[in-house]
Amino acid sequence: MSDSLVINEIYLSLQGESTFAGLPCVFIRLTACDLRCSYCDTAYAFTEGGKMTLAKILARVRELAGPFAEWGPQRAGSEACLGSEATARQAGAPMPLPLVELTGGEPLLQKNSLPLMQALCDDDFLVLLETSGAHDISGVDPRVRRIMDLKCPSSGEAARNRFANIPHLQATDEVKFVIGTVEDYEWARAQIIKYKLAAVCPVLFSWVHPLPAEPSSPVPSRLLTSAPARNTLKSVPAGQTPLSRRALAEKILADALPVRFQIQQHKIIWPAEQRGV
């Protein structure tokens, strides 16, 4: 078997989402995805990229992480800082920085993502995996923090959800719902109740980020994407009612949902269309 992966980009930035938001992170963006969510903002990763061996990927990650080594054995931060998940995450355990996240595209489409994650864990990195939820997560190294989407109706890809993944979730994993409409919210709330997700792991409600003009209702972000890739995205199903970020926050409070509201911090710090951040 080849020891390479098709990589779109590798870069150092701040983690913009999840319970790890705000922390330094090396991102490994893999090429290819078999979903075409209406709101996708990384459609450039559907086809753009080149082969890299696992050894070269590891070398690049170590290079980007190198400056953090000057802090020595005193690791920056601890999981106790991350909120109410502290018990599930063994509060007080040192957390090495930077984090390393595999994202995409869809990382699990490439089988060599599994040995890469294992090697990164063996190197003592805290590894995150962003996955669509359409692929089997059971083979992922248990040391990896899996951030798994459940696709809501406005994505156009809700039929692709692999609910068989839910029994494989651990307390250190996270489930993310990307929400842009009232129908998304109601559907997500129903899944939380049906599968008792809040008792399994942290649950994230991520608002669909708009274009820079920021209208009152969400508009899918499809920036810096070639026309052929952009044109393959699904349309939001007819009859959906847009939901503003304020309305989403207020619904969470009104329904007393045990979830974490989040926005994509990197799109606030840098231009929404900028890559490599």
C-alpha span between 93 and 77 (Å, rounded): 9
Of 38-47, 96-105, 152-161, 229-238, least confident by mean pLDDT is 229-238
- Report yes or no: 99 and 125 within 8 Å, Cβ to Cβ: yes
DSSP label at residue 122: H
What pLDDT sits at residue 54?
98
* Residue 228 backbone zone (phi > 0: left; psi -120 to 50: alpha; other: beta): alpha
DSSP label of 21: T
CA distance 200 to 177: 15
pLDDT given for residue 221 in this prediction? 42
Q: Is residue 172 over pLDDT 80? A: yes
pLDDT tens digits, one per residue of 79-122: 433 443 443 444 456 678 999 999 999 999 999 999 999 999 99
Rounded to two decimals, the pTM is: 0.87
Res. 239: pLDDT tops 90: yes
Tell me which of 276 and 105 has the higher pLDDT: 105
Q: What is the pLDDT of residue 82?
A: 40
Give me the pLDDT at residue 93, please.
60
